[in-house]
């Protein structure tokens, strides 16, 4: 039982390049999330998927797209990376009950030059 896994752990991009961050969970959770964390800004929600087949915007969705590939996998795509997207990205999942908590992946540290 690996919990929430993310790939890659580190990535350096040039401005304008594209990439996809991958996330998978093996806890049979319905809801999955993508956050970014910047110094002094806490965790900001980019997109979330309350259940397979649905996605919703969070606080900072501009410049990102997501795909809920199946119940296990939720990917985040940067179509044209910008330096402002330099951040640490965390994926999380949440169980089906209102009292469940989020479980986080180890994070992806992305630098856009």
Partner 1 sequence: QKEVEQNSGPLSVPEGAIASLNCTYSDRGSQSFFWYRQYSGKSPELIMSIYSNGDKEDGRFTAQLNKASQYVSLLIRDSQPSDSATYLCAVTSSGGYQKVTFGTGTKLQVIP
Residues that bind partner 1 (CB under 8 A): 30-31, 33, 35, 40-45, 48, 50, 56, 58-59, 90, 94, 98-99, 101-107
100 CB-contact burial (10 Å; exposed 0-12 / middle 13-18 / buried 19+):
middle
Residue by residue, DSSP assigns 14-75 as: -TT--EEEEEEESS--SEEEEEEEETTTEEEEEEEESSTT--EE-S--TTEEEEE-SSSBEE
Quote the least distance from Cβ 80 to partner 1, whole Å.
27
Residue with smaller CB distance to partner 1, 33 or 64: 33
- The least CB distance from residue 16 to partner 1, in Å, is 28
Task: Look at residues 60, 33, 20, 56 and name the one whose alpha carbon lies nearest to residue 44.
Answer: 60
User: Shortest CA distance to 37 belongs to which of 106, 77, 90?
Assistant: 90
Nearer to partner 1, 67 or 103 (CB): 103
**Which is closer to partner 1, CB of 30 or CB of 75?**
30
Give the residue with the Cβ less far from partner 1, 14 or 40: 40
User: What is the nearest approach in angstroms of partner 1 to the Cβ of residue 4?
Assistant: 9
Q: How far is the CB of 1 from partner 1 (least distance, A)?
A: 16
């Amino acid at each position: 039982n690996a919990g929430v896994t993310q790939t890659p752990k580190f990535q350096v991009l040039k401005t304008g390049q594209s990439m996809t961050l991958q996330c998978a969970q093996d806890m049979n959770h319905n809801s999955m999330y993508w956050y970014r964390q910047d110094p002094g800004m806490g965790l900001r929600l980019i997109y979330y998927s309350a259940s397979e087949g649905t996605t919703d915007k969070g606080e900072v969705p501009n410049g990102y797209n997501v795909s809920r590939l199946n119940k296990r996998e939720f990917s985040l795509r940067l179509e044209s990376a910008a330096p402002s997207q330099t951040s640490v990205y965390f994926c999380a999942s949440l169980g089906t009950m209102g009292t469940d908590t989020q479980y986080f992946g180890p994070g992806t540290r992305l630098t856009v030059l």
